[in-house]
Amino acid sequence: RELDTLITDTMAELTVYREDIQTKLVPYAQDTAALLGQDLQLLTT
């Protein structure tokens, strides 16, 4: 029973951590993708 509680708590913490990381990193990834697209467009023109 304690092991189940520990696993459940750990999984909940990991979910919160993952959501936090996604919230912080997604804008950077989108910006980087946009800049890469612009750079590639400049290279092809």
pTM: 0.62
Buried b (16+ CB within 10 A) or exposed e, 6-34: eeeeeeeeeeeeeeeeeeeeeeeeeeeee
Q: Calculate the alpha carbon distances from 11 to 5, 15, 38 in Å.
A: 10, 6, 40
Question: What count of residues does the chain have?
Answer: 45
Q: Report the chain's mean pLDDT, rounded to a whole number.
A: 96
> pLDDT digit string (tens) for 2-38?
999 999 999 999 999 999 999 999 999 999 999 999 9
